[in-house]
Copies of this chain bind each other. A is one copy, B any other.
Amino acid sequence: MSLKVVIIGGGSSYTPEILEGLIQRQPTFPVSEIVLVDVEEGREKVETICQLGNRMIEEAKVNIKLTWTLDRRSALQGADFVSTQIRVGGLAARAQDERIPLKHGLIGQETNGAGGIMKAFRTIPVLMEVAEEVNELCPDAWMINFTNPAGMVTEALLNHSAHKKVIGVCNIPFNMRHSTAELLQVPPEDVLIRFIGLNHFVFGDRVYVDGKDRTEDVFQKLIQKEFDYSPANIMPLDWSETFIKSTKLLPNPYHQYYFQSETVLEKDLKAYEENGTRAEIVQELEASLFELYKQESLREKPEELEKRGGAFYSQVACSLMDSIYNNKEDIQTVNTWNHGTIPELPYDAVIEANCVITKNGPKPITIGKIPAPMRGMIQNMKAMEELVIKASISGDYEDAYNAFLVNPLIQDEKKAKVVLDELIEAHKDYLPQFNR
């Protein structure tokens, strides 16, 4: 059996990580062909990555054919797995997502609030196209999406495209598991966190080590601040004792946007004045990464890549593909259809949940009712996500406004309009659906 993996957005600076993962997993996950796909604007990058990748393959002495192309349709022929990691509009668009809300006193972040909504508006139509092509050209392929906002993208594709083999992944649950393991000084593979909720709004309510409930120990450590599980790209956590004791939930780093909004906003405004947006910082970081990638002597994934937030995304994706291919029936946390897992969310909503991973895709483990302290907020986030998805596809201004209106980081009938209008104008090249 030989496997073909197609990487849409192959020119991403993260690609060396996924290549490393595929090379290392050869014994159990025998990929024989990888195609990197990108768009014209990414030609140079994808070529650089492809050359680096081929050096990595040579070094590892594995038998993988790695190529790149701008012709997505030809690449998709015969694919077994299609990973998607695109950034419509590039980091320049991200900078707008961050800068414009900030200008109006709102949190500017690329996966939450106004910025996250705009990213969905730009991304969903493009990935809908990809999904339709996958369904036409390689209908048995699993599409593994890591493009943010990963939960909304996955729901859009599952409910509105013809392709139903779509899974969304995020590194947050992975990182929380690893950080918790570190905190408890146990191997990560022994830790199981019960995750409840939505991508970037997921909580853990139980932590098990080899099946033993260690939740209270984790809470104690959190309260005593012995702990930091934030990924590299967001500021350290600082949750109060009362928050932990009352909610009895493990928050994820993005929850600070919702429950520490003022503090975050102040910091972001200050940081913006001093260093510009996160997008601008990342742009520099990326430029220096590509300088590195071009060095002929580099024959492996450079350590510098991990500094870039979002590390381990690829590890998550490789694990997932491996478990699907081998029908491992192990438990991983992915974005998939609810279908009753959490009865208080819509049946066809996409949630982030622990799933048994099989050759037939992820099968979520029933959760039941949402812990009372967060039921309403999770329901509100999901309802907001539905509005975003609807607007992404319809391009109706009113749908878009409604999404802004009820987003907890905006929720102001006048600012919703002002910021939305400015963002639509700024991104107009990437929002054909709003310009019909």
Contact = CB atoms under 8 A, between A and B. Distances in A.
Contact of A340 (B329, B366, B405): B366
Contact of A373 (B243, B329, B373, B387): B387
Contact of A383 (B212, B247, B365, B375): B375
A379 B341 CA distance: 18
Given A331-B329, A340-B343, A372-B386, A240 B414 contact: yes
A211 B327 contact: yes
A390 to B, nearest CB: 8
Contact of A247 (B213, B358, B380, B405): B405
A348 to B, nearest CB: 10
A406 interface: yes
Given A212-B359, A343-B347, A411 B373 contact: no
Interface stretch (A54-62, A256-264, A306-314): A256-264
Q: Count copies of this chain in the complex.
A: 4
Interface string A174-213: 0000000000000000001000000000000000101111
**Number of chain A interface residues as a range:** 35 or more
A139 B258 CA distance: 40
A298 interface: no
A144 B399 CA distance: 36
A246 interface: yes
A363 B360 contact: no
Nearest to A403: B373
A377 interface: yes
A417 interface: yes
Given A262-B412, A372-B387, 7 more contacts: A247-B405, A259-B411, A259-B413, A339-B366, A365-B366, A373-B402, A379-B379
Please give me the 6 A-B residue pairs with the lowest Cβ-Cβ distance, nearest first: A376-B383, A211-B359, A211-B327, A376-B380, A339-B368, A340-B343
8 contacts: A210-B327, A262-B415, A329-B330, A329-B331, A340-B367, A356-B356, A364-B365, A376-B381
